[in-house]
């Protein structure tokens, strides 16, 4: 790309195919939580994890080359993002978490990433991020009060705790990817996600045999078409396609043009959970959602607003 075209890309908002790609990613990731809920009708959380990564890895590993970096990075990332993040998220959805609320709580990964980045990478927490952390803490307080007040509804405190654990593991995988990028800056992101999808398969299968009730260990063989379609959605659309489109946008446009679109994910997730699954949100949960969204807005746009005021 020439310097002139780079300048134009920096100044201009997304349009055409790139705008469609960004909106497509938001829609795919927002509906992601509904697909999880549907698949968990027939799969246990560990079985769904194995199915997701089997479908994400095969047959693509036969056509996509292994990324040019040591295998340990694939293992670290696969365990954190696959077994950690999605193992906990699937369990949270089964233990008592709505798809609508889960789509919002998962966005707290932004703040877990910041805290881990400060502790492990010695990154600085700027003013907008500090404000976002404070707002996010208020949001989590509202979610906690919701259970103290006895108005949990379709959700449970255990589901919320597992959901937060999933967000923390997502943050851990972000740090691993960042460290891998620092050590090997030229590896291909799509190769990385496809080949790291091999890692969680065996752990999920082993955990299913160790921890699932005996009566459920083979129920995935009798899963309906809807549950398998949900697993395929998670693997091919939410993992491979959306990740490839999102990475491509960051390669063609500045991060501040692309990143704000991620704010649409919890909005789609909320609408899908309430509209497609009939989920209900309590008053305290709405308050918590408001604080979390405000926290994300502070992180995304706080620096820009402060610069304009200055």
What's the pTM? 0.87
What mean pLDDT is predicted for residues 120-149? Answer: 85
Q: What is the pLDDT of residue 147?
A: 81
The dihedral through the CA atoms of 177, 180, 185, 191 has a sign that is negative
Write the pLDDT tens digit of every residue in 245-296. 887 787 677 666 777 788 888 899 999 999 999 998 989 999 999 999 998 8
**Residues 34, 238: contact at Cβ < 8 Å?**
no
Question: Where does the pLDDT of residue 128 fall: very low under 50, low under 70, confident under 90, or very high at 90 and above?
Answer: confident
98 pLDDT higher than 90: yes
Helix ranges, the chain (H): 3-11, 16-39, 45-57, 71-77, 87-96, 99-105, 109-121, 127-148, 157-183, 189-196, 201-211, 225-232, 242-252, 255-258, 264-276, 283-309
154 or 194, which is more confident? 194
Assess contact for 134 and 300: CB atoms under 8 A: no
Supply the DSSP symbol for 64. Answer: S
Q: Which sequence spans correspond to the domains of the chain?
A: 17-303
Residues 6 or more apart whose Cβ sits within 8 Å of residue 175: 113, 116, 117, 120, 121
């Amino acid at each position: 790309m020439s310097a002139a075209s780079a300048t134009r890309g920096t100044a201009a908002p997304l349009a055409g195919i790139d705008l469609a790609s960004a909106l497509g990613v938001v829609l795919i990731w927002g509906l992601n939580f509904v697909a999880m809920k549907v698949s968990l009708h027939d799969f246990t959380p560990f079985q769904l994890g194995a199915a997701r990564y089997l479908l994400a890895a095969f047959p693509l590993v036969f056509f996509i080359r292994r990324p040019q970096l040591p295998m340990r990075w694939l293992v670290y990332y696969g365990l954190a993002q696959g077994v950690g993040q999605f193992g906990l998220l699937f369990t949270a959805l089964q233990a008592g978490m709505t798809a609508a609320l889960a789509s919002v709580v998962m966005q707290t990964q932004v703040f877990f990433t910041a805290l881990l980045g400060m502790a492990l990478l010695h990154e600085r927490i700027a003013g907008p991020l500090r404000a976002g952390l404070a707002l996010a803490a208020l949001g989590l307080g509202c979610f906690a009060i919701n259970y103290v007040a006895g108005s949990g509804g379709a959700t449970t405190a255990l589901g919320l705790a597992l959901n937060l654990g999933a967000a923390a593991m997502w943050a851990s995988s972000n740090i691993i990817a960042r460290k891998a990028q620092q050590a090997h800056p030229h590896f291909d992101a799509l190769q990385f996600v496809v080949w790291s999808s091999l890692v969680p398969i065996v752990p999920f299968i082993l955990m299913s045999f160790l921890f699932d009730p005996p009566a459920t260990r083979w129920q995935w063989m009798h899963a309906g078409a809807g549950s398998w379609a949900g697993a395929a959605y998670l693997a091919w659309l939410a993992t491979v396609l959306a990740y490839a489109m999102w990475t491509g946008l960051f390669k063609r446009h500045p991060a501040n043009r692309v990143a704000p679109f991620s704010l649409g994910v919890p909005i789609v997730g909320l609408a899908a959970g309430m509209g497609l699954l009939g989920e209900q949100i309590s008053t305290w949960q709405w308050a918590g959602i408001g604080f979390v969204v405000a926290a994300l807005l502070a992180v995304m746009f706080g620096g820009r607003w402060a610069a304009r005021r200055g």
